[in-house]
Structure 1
């Protein structure tokens, strides 16, 4: 469905985003059902193609079939397109096609684009969209060229497609890999743990894709003048840096003592970067300690940053919640971040988003644990991966029953479109009631 046709339906921008992702997922699922999509030529059950299409479009990476061995080159190409469209956003892609056709973008369409990429205003939105598309193409091309020397010696000419696929998958924070073999399913990047070049390239792609398009703009326009960045960009960069360094230090001392120093450092960094929200792994997650897996669950729920290819409740939400806590400790009326006051409505939104992600993760885990008779923490790991659109797994997903898979599908969808987007889509144009009820105090803590 074209953007102009959606306009005639008089839907809100949030409803357009949800409908666009739903149509993308269903279309992808139907295309993956074709016999040509599998190596064996068999027709894949709709439940499995729906799961795969949802995971790809929502840039998650959880799979019920090994991507490298089960799907044909046609099927892999469909998955790659779903990842690319899902990473950039359906509305952004639709608007890009409108621009390429030479048509003008209406004010309503600009509003949709603003909500799709979390832009601060409608002004300059078309220019920003062009910047995003150009930047995406350049970064993914550079990533693919950097990965070709890694895959070409091992896979021959097929290594070119592997480099392109993994560059797009890493940049879009999808976590899909094509390295599975019949005797080694779901390997991710474990066999390349000691390849420093691949680790660095993939980590850079994940980080660049996860910091958000507006942060790119600040970096490109203001370069090293960090003080001139938007507050949002400053918060994103500082929070991202802390979320990489501290978990990596923990993993270094707790999990990988048997590895050589250089490999130990790069492995610790990779496991710190990938949970937000790429889904690749270079070690067996089951071999990590329980405390490390708990930290990974937290990182998966946090995710990337607003207006990025990543999921999760976002780095800015975490920063705002900590700022609010510090404000409460110091008895200040408004939270402060980097010498700037933050208005209370923003804090309420952050708290709501955090609570919704927490409830979705725990609610889904409790259902799956009860229905499948599985340990709760294992299920929490899987649901955190789904709602955070990560893709890391403890090997649970392929063996789940259909009801549990449907729960994960719903979590992946909600995690990608955003819980607040769903609420705003349901409310649509309902006006706020300004009348106030009597006030009364209630104790907390």
Structure 2
């Protein structure tokens, strides 16, 4: 009897989980090589694994400073993991298939459908082609602008290297950067807090990466189709609303905080507020010290990180569409209506149940991991909650806890990042046993609520 594992007998969620796990292990192995480290000594496997998980899940949490710890080889490994993790390994595999003119099989189309969170396979290969073209075009334009700007600070050669590297990192909402040095590690973009060019380009990359490839494709076809899909309307409206609410909240809470926005000019305060609001949507870079923010700002950022970006994007969280469904359900219940209507469309019951399931599973994950870390880490509760939510939302912002994590804490945060990138529902589908059709239904019962 043949007992060999046939990967194509696995379900699409199982293939996604296995694929990301393999990429993470390969990345960790490469980062442990001596010539990946600036000191010439091998990085510990746990730190290499954490870095690989963070890069592949496009999170940005780091236990060692990226710029000063790794060599150019290490940097290339990390940015490659970010690109593969952001676009999805199946998207990259499809790119290779396009290059070699290979046919995309039915099973591969099913996995691509799962990876992009699509309802059907119709036009999936065409969508993947658009994803690749749009992504590379956006990254190339941003890389040119970044190169010109960074050339003034580092010269053309290093400016070009930094320009390309950070364009890929920002668009994929990864949060990794190379600005740290041995003397000043973990600085992120704090040196560019008032720089209009760097801030504007970074914000645009974060937003474009966060709204998702499906929405970008829909916007590009707007002239032909004459209207946006319901999904795109929800994503754009909620993303815009959360961006503005987050920016106003941070601006108000931090206006007089001398350690963050208090010492900046009015224009820089506004710019920094919008940057940090955009960054909480799954991006990770920061222009102000996150640990110096007031607790009101930190808690607001926790909420925004938990909501996250959009379906089919490089971001994590429960997604803005899920949040919109939950808010709409509350409003509908309060008004005594039966159907949940969004932009004059009635939502199906299964969408509502999936939104509730996803939110509750995600909430349970964050609560359980936070409780466990609270017993194993010597740190404040809000600091731990911030770290866990950042990991789940694949954001990468931290209040300084990441480098202080114990080995157990690193493993737990790595698992949280992995679950956040794939999605708790996808992970549950991948781990569940084969479903059997129910042969009967139980009688309906009633429970008193409220």
Q: If the length of structure 2 is used for normalisation, what is the TM-score?
A: 0.95
Residues 164/6 of structure 1: CA separation in 2 closer, same or farther (3 Å cut): farther
Q: 1: CA distance between counterparts of 2:337 and 2:348?
A: 12
Shift of 1:424: 1.4
Matched, 1:354 2:359: yes
**Matching residue of 2:236:** 237
| Cα contact 1:252–1:265 (8 A) shared by 2 | yes
| Cα contact 1:255–1:289 (8 A) shared by 2 | yes
| Cα contact 2:386–2:398 (8 A) shared by 1 | yes
| Cα contact 2:173–2:314 (8 A) shared by 1 | yes
| Cα contact 1:209–1:310 (8 A) shared by 2 | yes
Q: 2: CA distance between counterparts of 1:57 and 1:8?
A: 21
**Matching residue of 2:144:** 145
Deviations 1:355-376 (A, max 9, x none): 1111111111111111123221
| Cα contact 1:189–1:282 (8 A) shared by 2 | yes
**Matching residue of 1:266:** 271
**Matching residue of 2:372:** 367
**Matching residue of 1:310:** 315
Q: 1: CA distance between counterparts of 2:364 and 2:39?
A: 40
**Matching residue of 2:299:** 294
Q: Which moved more, 1:258-267 or 1:31-40?
A: 258-267
4+ aligned runs moved over 2 Å, structure 1: 5-9, 256-259, 426-429
Shift of 1:224: 10
Shift of 1:188: 0.5
Residues 224/253 of structure 1: CA separation in 2 closer, same or farther (3 Å cut): farther
Shift of 1:256: 3.0
2:394 alignment partner, SS class: coil
Shift of 1:9: 3.8
Shift of 1:335: 1.0
2:298 alignment partner, SS class: helix
Matched, 1:154 2:153: yes
Residues 187/6 of structure 1: CA separation in 2 closer, same or farther (3 Å cut): farther
Q: 2: CA distance between counterparts of 1:6 and 1:173?
A: 34
Matched, 1:276 2:275: no
Deviations 1:24-81 (A, max 9, x none): 0000000001001011110111101000000000000000110000000000000000
**Matching residue of 1:104:** 103
**Matching residue of 2:259:** none
Unaligned ranges ≥5, structure 1: none
Shift of 1:15: 0.6
1:228 alignment partner, SS class: coil
Q: 1:342 aligns with which of 342, 347, 352?
A: 347
Q: 2:420 aligns with which of 401, 410, 415?
A: 415
Residues 85/346 of structure 1: CA separation in 2 closer, same or farther (3 Å cut): same
**Matching residue of 1:71:** 70
**Matching residue of 1:185:** 185
**Matching residue of 1:251:** 250
| Cα contact 1:12–1:428 (8 A) shared by 2 | no
Deviations 1:143-196 (A, max 9, x none): 111111221111122121111111111100000010001111100100000101
**Matching residue of 1:12:** 11
Shift of 1:434: 5.4
Query: Number of residues paired by the alignment?
Result: 440
Deviations 1:234-277 (A, max 9, x none): 00000000000111112222203432121111111011100110
Deviations 1:304-323 (A, max 9, x none): 00001111110000000001
**Matching residue of 1:124:** 123
Q: 1: CA distance between counterparts of 2:6 and 2:94?
A: 12
Q: 2: CA distance between counterparts of 1:323 and 1:202?
A: 31
Q: 2: CA distance between counterparts of 1:23 and 1:190?
A: 34
| Cα contact 2:27–2:81 (8 A) shared by 1 | yes
